[in-house]
Amino acid sequence: MYMQTGRIIRLLGGFYTVESEGKIFETRARGNFRKKDVKPLVGDFVDFENDYILSVHERKNSLIRPSVANIDQVVVVMSSVEPDFNHNLLDRFLVLLEHRRVNTKIYLSKTDLAELDLSTYQEIGYEVFMSPESLMSNLKDKVTVFMGQTGVGKSTLLNKIAPRLNLATDEISLTLGRGKHTTRHVELYAVAGGLIADTPGFSSLDYEVDTIPELNRCFVDIYEVSADCKFRECTHSHEPECAVKVAVEAGKISQTRFDSFLQLSSEINKTREVYKKNAKKTS
């Protein structure tokens, strides 16, 4: 056999399914991958030979939950009700995805039950979709990952886009048995001319950012204005001549976005305090 190049589209039970020129290969990663800490991920382009992966091509980005590389976009699914729309949760998703440098779109579900105005997010550059049809035409030739809280209607949406997926809906009552079936199964499904991945439910969302300057960068609307703050590393809290605070007062930056920023700032500061204290104890 000669060496081939392809894309990993599934990881299940230690086997990587690789697609290469329309053909499917069941491959394994060699042991030395684990030692070198470059575990191949679904979405990776790889060189393989005799059903063994030899090397992983450089990634443009990756996520941990789900473990997928080379993502073109993430669609964050938020419901207008049941569960109630939560600005702070949406901002946490956006921070994580800006941090990981992934293009992000928002899908608002359950608009038949309640309408909601998300123009704030559109104005700062996030496309907002409210129907399966409009979203569908944006999936072609792209790797799209769907994320969202349990119960927002992700499976329902994906079934509308691709009925053959036939995903179970209303899975909340099944969470106890979840570990058995979804552990380590990550898959990219061919849908609407692109590839999509679903994300299993989560108990809490880790937005991964641990410094205020990086948090500042991940709030795209705040970041844009912060260039005009007097201090280069302004935290937009106590500093004089803060352009962000002026913009919030003038209604140019939304108050809920600024509230999210301040809340995440204080979480990051608390974590750093604890870290410092522990470092002192052990030194």
Ligand X SMILES: Nc1nc2c(ncn2[C@@H]2O[C@H](COP(=O)(O)OP(=O)(O)O)[C@@H](O)[C@H]2O)c(=O)[nH]1
Binding residues vs ligand X (CB under 6 A) = 109-110, 112-113, 148, 150-156, 169-171
Residue closer to ligand X by CB (options 120, 150) is 150
**In the complex, minimum distance from the CB of residue 170 to ligand X, in angstroms, rounded to a whole number:** 4
Residue nearest to ligand X (CB): 153
* CA-CA-CA-CA torsion sign (79, 83, 88, 90): negative
Token pair for residue 166? Answer: 């036939």
Coil, strand or helix: which one is 217? Answer: helix
Using CA atoms, how far apart are residues 126 and 119, in angstroms rounded to an integer? 9
Which of Zn ion, ligand X, Mg ion, none does residue 151 bind (CB under 5 to 8 Å by kind)? ligand X
x-or-dash string of contact with Mg ion, 129-158, rule CB under 5 A: -------------------------xx---
DSSP tag of 211: S
Task: Tell me the residue type at 278.
Answer: N
- Shortest spacing between CB 159 and ligand X, in angstroms: 8
Helix (H) or strand (E) holding 73: strand 73-79
Ramachandran category for residue 209: left, alpha or beta (phi over 0 → left; psi -120 to 50 → alpha) = beta
Task: State in angstroms the smallest separation of the CB of 237 from Zn ion.
Answer: 8
**Residues at the interface with Zn ion (CB under 5 A):** 229, 234, 236, 242, 244
Give the nearest distance from C-beta 171 to ligand X in angstroms: 6
Choose among ligand X, Mg ion, Zn ion, none what residue 244 binds, the Cβ cut-off being 5 to 8 Å by kind.
Zn ion
| Contact partner at residue 148 from Zn ion, ligand X, Mg ion, none, CB < 5 to 8 Å by partner kind | ligand X
Pairwise CA distance, residues 195 & 184, whole Å: 18
Q: How far apart are CA 210 and CA 1, in angstroms?
A: 47
